[in-house]
A = this chain, B = another copy of it.
Amino acid sequence: MKKIINKPTDVVTEMIDGMVAINGDLVHRVEGFDIIARNTEKTGKVGIVSGGGSGHEPTHAGFVGEGMLSAAVCGAVFTSPTPDQIIEAIKEADEGAGVFLVIKNYSGDIMNFEMAQEMAEMEGIEVQSVVVDDDIAVEDSLYTQGRRGVAGTIFVHKILGDAARNGQSLSEIKELADRLVPTIHTVGLALTGATVPEVGKPGFVLPDDEIEFGIGIHGEPGYRREKMQPSKMLAEELVNKLVTSFEPKEGEEYALLVNGMGATPLMELYIFANDVVNLLADKQITIRYKKLGNYMTSIDMAGLSLTLMKCEDAQWVEALEAPVITPAW
């Protein structure tokens, strides 16, 4: 393992310190906790909190800021944050109008976020939440009952963050989230495994000429291994899988996210995106919003994921396009 780190046990705390050292104008660490919170003034609006295991940078802390998340809780690498950390993030995010939690669908996250939600309610803070389960690659998985929550989560952060900024109430945001989450589908592929610093070796190894479709962001197994193939064929596999899951109808509009897994060069993401956009045009699917980059990563995994969101409401597109001030959107 060759990584630019100090002690493997210190990666999360030092990463948070580094993020604040670079982006101190936008965010701060909640003293004594692994929480990144925004520096904006409290204006009595709903707070949006997300979080989960570290290793998916810039998710989640990179999306903290004006117009998006109020705070993000950073667990150990690939490990849910503990309830005592989450409750502190809820308190930090509370501006008097309640706090909304965006939880990715992993058993540990759900257990700990729900526990924190109960504790917060006992302290008089109104809390609502949604569980994001956009990964259509597999039903149930390691660490998951049902589908995993992956890159599509950042669309949830963006759209709910915009709603909160616009003064929507906690119950309105809950209703929006419940409509939004089922419209987001993602599927990914991996060229290499990711190495957790404290483990020191990749979670799985793919031969030099193989890829795996449907891999999770912690290296959870996908649905098929195949020989490496041209970008066009990879795009075809993922596009077909997504399109089938939606059964698109005329007049519908979609948002697109091409997400790198951490070690994938932009060159490859753009080549793949070109193939995807051409395939979607062939299928006469209208893409209203497009985004590309390394957003929901798996440490040093090479690979990517493709997300489509059915824009059931024109406001969702406006919310995706609205400017925000965060380290990473």
Residues of chain A touching chain B, judged by Cβ–Cβ distance below 8 Å, are 2-7, 11, 14-19, 21-23, 54-55, 57-58, 62, 191-192, 208-209, 211, 228, 230-232, 234, 258, 262-275, 277-278, 290-292, 294, 297, 299-300, 302, 304
Contact = CB atoms under 8 A, between A and B. Distances in A.
A300 B263 contact: yes
A234 B6 CA distance: 10
Copy total for this chain: 2
Contacts of A2: 191-192, 208-209, 211, 228, 302
B300 A18 contact: no
Given A267-B299, A270-B22, A274-B17, A5 B57 contact: no
A275 to B, nearest CB: 8
Given A15-B270, A271-B14, A264 B4 contact: yes
A267 B15 contact: yes
Nearest to A230: B6
18 contacts: A2-B211, A3-B268, A4-B271, A5-B230, A5-B231, A5-B268, A6-B232, A11-B267, A15-B274, A18-B274, A18-B275, A21-B273, A22-B258, A22-B273, A22-B291, A57-B265, A263-B263, A265-B300
Nearest to A77: B267
B271 A15 contact: yes
A82 B66 CA distance: 44
Contacts of A270: 14-16, 18-19, 22, 57
A302 B21 CA distance: 22
A117 to B, nearest CB: 28
Given A2-B191, A62-B266, A262-B266, 4 more contacts: A4-B191, A6-B230, A11-B271, A14-B275
A86 B57 CA distance: 37
Contacts of A55: 267
The 10 closest A-B CB pairs, nearest first, are: A18-B270, A18-B274, A57-B266, A4-B268, A21-B277, A263-B263, A18-B273, A15-B270, A17-B274, A6-B230
Contacts of A4: 191, 231, 234, 264, 268-269, 271-272, 304
Nearest to A195: B265
A30 to B, nearest CB: 17
Contacts of A14: 231, 270-271, 274-275
A242 to B, nearest CB: 17
A7 B59 CA distance: 32
Given A2-B209, A234-B4, A21 B274 contact: yes
Nearest to A24: B290
Nearest to A290: B22
Contacts of A302: 2, 263, 300
Contacts of A304: 4
A116 B90 CA distance: 58
